[in-house]
Chains A and B, each alone.
Chain A
Amino acid sequence: MTQQLKLKVNGRDVAVDAHGERPLLDVLREDLGLTGAKYGCGEGQCGACTVLLDGAAVRSCVTTVADAVGMSIETIEGLGEGDALHPLQQAFVDHGAAQCGYCVPGQIMSAVALLRENARPSRAEIIAAMNGNLCRCCNYPSILAAIEHAASPK
């Protein structure tokens, strides 16, 4: 049964009429027009759909929209401040960390969660945190370099 669900997305309160069992990913993309989070597998294996729920990186394809009610949802669209890119977004640009770029929103959201938790992760910690995010263009060296750069003391 569809019901009205109140969500908090990128700091704004929004109401959607949706069946609570629908994946959060679908509701973000199809109902709210936030297409930054991508579908890559629908089963938590690729990370393309990564968004933050109360600051933690989650796979929105295996999170129901009902489970996201009452939590703060952050997507790639909410990351920058106006025209200014978030430091991780800037690092991805500077290091050419996108080939096709389809995985990139998910990569960046996973990295944001990591760096909020641990501002100076070691290389091994970055790899452990990012290993759930597939890049089929296999642009991993540039992605790793971008995250290491964003995590290095300025």
Chain B
Amino acid sequence: MSRHTLTLTTPYVLEAERYELRADGLYRFDPDRRAFVQVLGASLVIAASAATASAQPNGGRRRRGDEQSRTESLDQRFHIGADGVVTVFTSKVEVGQGSRTQLTQAAAEELRLPADRIRLVMADTALCPDDGGTAGSRTTPANVPQIRRAAAAAREILLALAAQRLQVDPSQLDCREGLFADRSSGKQLTLAELAQNDALKSLLQDAASGEASLADADQWKVLGTSVPQVNARDLVTGAARFPSDVSRPGMLYGKVLRAPTYNATLQSLEIPADPALSGVTIVRDNSFVGVAAGNSWLAAAAIDALAAAAKWDNPPHPSSDELFTHLKKTASHDGDAWPRPRVDAWGDGAQALDSVPPERRLAADYTVAYIQHAPLEPRAAVAQWNDGQLTVWTGSQQPSRVHSELSAAFQLPADRVRVIVPDTGGSFGGKHTGEVAVEAARLAKAAGKPVSLRWSREEEFTWAYCRPAGLIEVRAALDDAGRIAAWDFTNYNSGESGIRLPYDAPHGRTQFLAADSPLRQGSYRALASTANNFARESAIDELAAMAAADPLAFRLAHLADGRLKDVLTAVAEKFTWTERYARRAADRGVGLACGTEKGSFVAACVEVEVQPGGAPRVTTVCQAFECGAIQNPANLRRQVEGAIIMGLGGALTEQMVFKDGRLATASFSKYAVPRMADVPQLDIVLLNRPDLPSVGAGETPIIAVAPAIANALANATGRRIRSMPLIPGGS
């Protein structure tokens, strides 16, 4: 695997074993090389700043480095306050997906408290046990049970303590709403009273999450209900402090010099005698050049002055026009290479295709463009040094990983770095890395003052990692009864999640081949699953057409009974598929698609309207979704709606266009994302399965949107579009 195009010092590692790709960090500073730090003018003094004294020291409740603290003692997880409020500590982050409320519900459920008696401290590496990052829809299946087990164990300890104090057997006690009451005498203790008991702290310290019983879904009192977002009030008043809002005394504003083209390297930089640089801290360290100034307008002006003086080497870079050829050409077939090709074959594998006559064979190549997450809050960080101790507030899904990036970049022992992630603007898989934290920390180190750094929209489009582009080759065949006889599916570059064929086929092969990616790429909401579902569900419709079958009937005939079939049946019924499919016309088409990912199941029906000469319009998306027992119906609905609408962007218009190393789509005016006027009618069916474990819901609801639209367009126009986005120019 070759490196991608940024100047990197760490090798690019594509972890095919994982459910997602990851982008690597941008920088490694060389501690032995003296960085060039320059201050022009007289207004800035480089000195240790007394203003940083308010930074809290590290080594609070929990030190990092104990790996996944599955066996953390309960006092690391909970603080039970004398006011009867329980504070829960977790490394998970809130990025709009609802984890803060959901984990509040989890703790409240097992502590038998109302949700407003729980407070969450999230994602502070000095305070919180390391529960892993926030990715892969893992909060629901992994962390909700983890918090529930810990809360149930704490409840048992509280019960035992109350029983001892009341001198009754614990089985005699009811525990409800923070009251521990003896059923026969009516004597009771409050949680607040128990919290003041000296023994409680050591009892919690000595105990780990045990085997205390958890409430079944049909007994849930707090889980399973639409508990409103716990911090909604702060969000509507502007009181919420996002990472880009964090302010520290004496704080400066940073900006980084970016290369003019993707793989450019800096040849020379003579600092010009420009008044824009007066009073500004300028840092050059290896490939890194940045400034810190009194406000962001001054910082931007200083960077403009430096950019005008910088000389770059601009080697060639593949353009988006030749992208898919490039991916195919650089694909790694070598079984010894890393990452290895991932091949899954069954029956006679791909050879089975050869025995089918050509008129019953499909050969179709699908492509998926790079797209950006374009989170409304760009990545941002505030860094502060205090006696060699680094504290960074930043927006990231991976506090622990950012912590490691910082300690590696500055050669600091783990206990000298603290990362705090305030609730952050939506990230959609786009904020796994810590580059902005490293940049802010580098600038703050030079300036001797806290530095706030927020990427511009253009930087966010150009330099953040994007969702991988992919080329997918499908070769398939029907038998003489119109059933799938063989299936061969090869994904170049975009990843393997969702690659498995859920339909019955006696022979087949799926494979994922890594390739050289001209752009930085990494995870995205549902990642490769969207690409693989787009190709597979489009090809299934092409096969259904070849078999002259209704696409719904064709799918149902190839699906075993189970959860996927259930969502498909549910959505077809809600949409009245059979009638609407029969009524299709040249200006109005319908399409459907389904899929499964990360243990949840989705099916969508869409209607599109096609006017001659005009842009096709998606008028309706009807979607059924099932993710086990529903923990918060209102939040789930919002996640499903958000995923569908976000999915419309990738399906219809979003793509990264680049040529000669320059991105042509680096603003919201050139890269169209869904707006309120683009929202179609949404009909959503949430299937609740209280008998099944709950799994995450933030990702899978995006995967059926694009193929359902592609199928509807083909249905209306008779023309099959095999590339995402489907209508990049709008028509």
CB atoms of B236 and A93 under 8 A apart: yes
CB atoms of A93 and B673 under 8 A apart: no
Q: Within the complex, which residue of A38, A98, A99, A134 is in contact with B668, where a contact is CB–CB below 8 Å?
A: A134
Cβ proximity bits B250-272 to A, threshold 8 Å, 1 near / 0 not: 00010000000000000000000
Write the chain A residue with the least CB distance to B647. Answer: A138
CB atoms of A45 and B677 under 8 A apart: no
User: Shortest beta-carbon distance, B103 to chain A, in Å?
Assistant: 16
CB atoms of B668 and A138 under 8 A apart: no
* Most chain B beta-carbon contacts within 10 A, residue among A30, A77, A101, A105: A101
CB atoms of A98 and B376 under 8 A apart: no
Report if A140-B238 is in contact (Cβ < 8 Å); known contacts: A100-B377, A102-B426.
Answer: no
B374: which A residues are within 8 A, CB to CB?
136
B187 within 8 A of A: no
CB atoms of B376 and A40 under 8 A apart: yes
B97: which A residues are within 8 A, CB to CB?
99
A131 within 8 A of B: yes
Within 8 A of B (CB), among A108-154: 108, 127-128, 130-144
Q: Within the complex, which residue of A26, A101, A132, A140 is in contact with B296, where a contact is CB–CB below 8 Å?
A: A26
CB atoms of A41 and B668 under 8 A apart: yes
CB atoms of A104 and B236 under 8 A apart: yes
B245 within 8 A of A: yes
Within 8 A of A (CB), among B639-684: 641-646, 667-669, 673-677, 679, 682
CB atoms of A96 and B641 under 8 A apart: no
User: Shortest beta-carbon distance, A153 to chain B, in Å?
Assistant: 22
A85 within 8 A of B: yes
Report if A42-B642 is in contact (Cβ < 8 Å); known contacts: A76-B237, A99-B97.
Answer: no
A90 and B373 alpha carbons, distance in the complex (Å): 30
A85 and B239 alpha carbons, distance in the complex (Å): 12
User: Shortest beta-carbon distance, B228 to chain A, in Å?
Assistant: 7
CB atoms of A75 and B232 under 8 A apart: no
A22 within 8 A of B: yes
CB atoms of A76 and B457 under 8 A apart: no
A141 and B680 alpha carbons, distance in the complex (Å): 10
* Most chain A beta-carbon contacts within 10 A, residue among B241, B297, B645: B297
A63 and B482 alpha carbons, distance in the complex (Å): 63
Write the chain B residue with the least CB distance to A80. Answer: B237
A7 and B295 alpha carbons, distance in the complex (Å): 19
Q: Within the complex, which residue of B376, B378, B428, B677 is in contact with A135, where a contact is CB–CB below 8 Å?
A: B376
User: Shortest beta-carbon distance, B513 to chain A, in Å?
Assistant: 32
CB atoms of A138 and B376 under 8 A apart: no
Write the chain B residue with the least CB distance to A94. Answer: B228
A138 and B247 alpha carbons, distance in the complex (Å): 28
A43 within 8 A of B: yes
Grouping DSSP codes into helix (H, G, I), strand (E, B) and loop, the A interface class, with mixed when no group exceeds half, is loop
User: Shortest beta-carbon distance, B651 to chain A, in Å?
Assistant: 13
Grouping DSSP codes into helix (H, G, I), strand (E, B) and loop, the B interface class, with mixed when no group exceeds half, is loop
CB atoms of B635 and A138 under 8 A apart: no
Write the chain A residue with the least CB distance to B684. Answer: A141
Report if A45-B245 is in contact (Cβ < 8 Å); known contacts: A40-B457, A105-B238, A142-B638.
Answer: no
Report if A30-B237 is in contact (Cβ < 8 Å); known contacts: A41-B457, A45-B668, A131-B675.
Answer: no
B229 within 8 A of A: yes
Report if A96-B634 is in contact (Cβ < 8 Å); known contacts: A30-B296, A85-B236.
Answer: yes
Within 8 A of A (CB), among B335-375: 373-375
Q: Within the complex, which residue of B242, B645, B667 is in contact with A102, where a contact is CB–CB below 8 Å?
A: B242
A52 within 8 A of B: no
A89 and B236 alpha carbons, distance in the complex (Å): 6
CB atoms of A138 and B642 under 8 A apart: yes
Number of A-B contacts (CB under 8 A): 177
A72 within 8 A of B: no
A128: which B residues are within 8 A, CB to CB?
677
B411 within 8 A of A: no
B433 within 8 A of A: no
Report if A134-B376 is in contact (Cβ < 8 Å); known contacts: A79-B237, A104-B235.
Answer: yes
B375: which A residues are within 8 A, CB to CB?
102, 136
Write the chain B residue with the least CB distance to A103. Answer: B376
User: Shortest beta-carbon distance, A132 to chain B, in Å?
Assistant: 8
CB atoms of B236 and A38 under 8 A apart: no
A137: which B residues are within 8 A, CB to CB?
96, 376, 426, 642, 646
Write the chain B residue with the least CB distance to A21. Answer: B297
CB atoms of B245 and A99 under 8 A apart: no
Cβ proximity bits B460-479 to A, threshold 8 Å, 1 near / 0 not: 00000000000000000000
B454 within 8 A of A: yes
Write the chain B residue with the least CB distance to A146. Answer: B236
B428: which A residues are within 8 A, CB to CB?
136
A26 and B682 alpha carbons, distance in the complex (Å): 38
Report if A98-B235 is in contact (Cβ < 8 Å); known contacts: A43-B457, A136-B428, A139-B638.
Answer: yes
B229: which A residues are within 8 A, CB to CB?
96, 98
Cβ proximity bits A80-91 to B, threshold 8 Å, 1 near / 0 not: 100001000110
B170 within 8 A of A: no
Q: Within the complex, which residue of B94, B376, B426, B673 is in contact with A38, where a contact is CB–CB below 8 Å?
A: B376
A23 and B674 alpha carbons, distance in the complex (Å): 26
B725 within 8 A of A: no
B593 within 8 A of A: no
CB atoms of A35 and B456 under 8 A apart: no
A39: which B residues are within 8 A, CB to CB?
244, 378, 454
5 A-B pairs with C-beta separation under 8 A: A43-B669, A46-B376, A93-B232, A100-B95, A141-B679
The 3 closest A-B pairs by CB, nearest first: A36-B238, A100-B96, A101-B235
Given contact pairs A98-B235, A138-B646, A144-B679, enumerate 20 new A-B contacts (beta carbons under 8 Å). Answer: A26-B295, A31-B295, A34-B238, A35-B241, A35-B247, A39-B454, A40-B378, A42-B457, A46-B457, A77-B237, A92-B232, A93-B233, A93-B236, A99-B97, A101-B240, A133-B676, A136-B425, A137-B642, A137-B646, A140-B675
